[in-house]
């Protein structure tokens, strides 16, 4: 392989792309470029603002030095971590892997040691924020070739209640399973500890793929308790942003499947390290990705290279994609189209997808102001969404 000439960063651009995404474009002074995704749902403007410091740090920097840039971006500002700063770093990191792969004419996974698989099982969402019409939605996903789906377990739940509140949850799971689907159930951090233990126990006989965020990750001791109560695999991680955030969950034995988001948790570089940590604890990886095409393409680079990646979330047809869907801003949609329930590992250089730059620039002129809904309980108090 020929030596790669220095690639000095000349421009870093960001684009608010509807329905709720933030794309990043890094260009060198010689015109080479790469794309990444720094989407942080509901907080795109804050992440966009974080790029002011990134530009000050890295314009003129050698884009080949991805790890050096990562370390400076993470450690060099004194304050570190958190959703906003790590999402900005994630988009930058993805774009640098895309740029370097394109410059060398190889996929990013080739630069990380090559492939361990040819395709990865995918799952799609059904049911929306407040799950409904599960049987028909599961049938539609089956017709698309999926064999696995995920849905929200419940709408808002109060702090206490009785097990009869779970009857509907069980019926929805059984409806999806009746269509031949494996089901992952997302508690979405909506269920508080007094009821989460009951719901996890009631669901155990159904044979779920996993229960996701049975409690918020800010409650690691409660998650460890639930993990000890049931045999159903516990999944979490979309609200964790670095290997240091994940460390205590590995040490407590509180998680069986981690779900780092490659647009929140430091990009490809950091999520590869998180996956390696997880492998040491015999924990599977199922990256979180209800986002756009660049985020998914980055996830597939990790799936290509990390042996413990078990399944990949994708946002095709998800209820959040109002007005624009997953494949709309790429010119090669076949790269991210599932076949028989699996996503192929991209073969093109960099992240392996081609962005329709004219379309991105056009829609970004209007941008978006996506916000998640605010829910309340029957008594008027705030309810977790």
Burial of 29 (0-12, 13-18, 19+ CB in 10 A): middle
Is pLDDT at 299 greater than 80 in this prediction?
Answer: yes
CA separation, residue 340 to residues 120, 127, 144 (Å): 11, 21, 8
Q: How confident is the model at residue 234 (pLDDT cuts 50, 70, 90)?
A: very high
In this prediction, residues 263-272 reach a mean pLDDT of 98
Tokens of 121: 């099982």
Please write the tens of the pLDDT for every residue from 49-98: 999 999 999 999 999 999 999 999 999 999 999 999 999 999 999 999 99
Distance of CA 295 to the CA centre of its chain: 7
- Site of tokens 């370097």: 100
Measured CA to CA, the distance from residue 24 to residue 39 in angstroms comes to: 9
Q: For 60, which DSSP code?
A: T
Is pLDDT at 240 greater than 60 in this prediction?
Answer: yes
Catalytic residues, by residue number, are 188, 288
Q: 33 with 26: CB under 8 angstroms?
A: yes
Please write the tens of the pLDDT for every residue from 311-354: 999 999 999 999 999 999 999 999 999 999 999 999 999 999 99
The HSE-up count of residue 69 (CA atoms within 13 Å, CB side) is: 31
Please write the tens of the pLDDT for every residue from 99-130: 999 999 999 999 999 999 999 999 999 988 78
Q: How confident is the model at residue 162 (pLDDT cuts 50, 70, 90)?
A: confident
SS3 state at 301:
helix
Domains of the chain with bracketed CATH: 8-107 (3.30.390.10), 110-351 (3.20.20.120)
Helices (H), the chain: 44-58, 66-75, 83-104, 108-111, 134-143, 167-178, 193-203, 220-229, 243-252, 267-280, 293-305, 357-364
The strand pair at 382-383 and 375-376 is best described as antiparallel
pTM of structure: 0.96
CA dihedral for 21, 83, 284, 182, sign (positive or negative): negative
Measured CA to CA, the distance from residue 119 to residue 160 in angstroms comes to: 43
In this prediction, residues 203-220 reach a mean pLDDT of 96
């Amino acid at each position: 392989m020929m030596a790669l000439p220095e690639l000095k960063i000349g421009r870093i651009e960001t684009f608010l792309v509807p329905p709720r995404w933030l794309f990043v474009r890094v260009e060198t002074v010689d015109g080479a470029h790469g794309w990444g995704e720094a989407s942080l749902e509901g907080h795109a403007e804050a992440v966009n603002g974080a790029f002011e410091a990134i530009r000050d740090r890295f314009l003129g920097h050698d884009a080949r030095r991805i790890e050096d840039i990562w370390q400076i971006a993470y450690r060099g500002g004194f304050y570190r971590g958190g959703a906003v700063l790590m999402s900005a770093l994630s988009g930058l990191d993805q774009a640098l892997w895309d740029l370097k792969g394109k410059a060398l004419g190889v996929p990013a996974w080739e630069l990380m040691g090559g492939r361990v698989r040819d395709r990865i099982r995918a799952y799609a969402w059904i049911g929306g924020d407040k799950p409904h019409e599960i049987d028909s939605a599961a049938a539609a996903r089956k017709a698309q070739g999926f064999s696995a789906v995920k849905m929200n377990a419940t709408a808002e739940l109060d702090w206490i209640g009785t097990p009869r509140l779970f009857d509907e949850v069980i019926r929805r799971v059984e409806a999806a399973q009746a269509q031949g689907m494996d089901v992952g159930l997302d508690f979405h951090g909506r269920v508080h500890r007094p009821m989460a233990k009951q719901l996890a126990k009631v669901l155990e006989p159904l044979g779920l793929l996993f229960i996701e965020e049975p409690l918020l990750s800010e409650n690691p001791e409660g998650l460890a308790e639930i993990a000890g109560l049931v045999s159903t695999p516990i999944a979490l991680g979309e609200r964790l942003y670095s290997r240091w955030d994940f460390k205590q969950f590995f040490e407590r034995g509180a998680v069986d499947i981690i779900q780092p988001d490659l647009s929140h948790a430091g990009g490809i570089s950091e999520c590869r390290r998180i996956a390696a940590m997880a492998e040491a604890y015999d924990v599977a990886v199922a990256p979180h990705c209800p986002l756009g095409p660049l985020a998914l393409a980055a996830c597939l680079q990790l799936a290509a290279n990390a042996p413990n990646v078990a399944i990949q979330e994708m946002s095709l047809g998800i209820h959040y994609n109002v007005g624009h869907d997953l494949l709309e801003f790429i010119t090669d949609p076949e790269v991210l189209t599932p076949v028989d329930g699996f996503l192929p590992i991209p073969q093109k250089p960099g992240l392996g997808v081609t962005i329709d730059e004219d379309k991105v620039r056009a829609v970004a002129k209007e941008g978006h102001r996506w916000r998640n809904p605010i829910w309340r309980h029957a008594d008027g108090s705030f309810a977790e969404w």
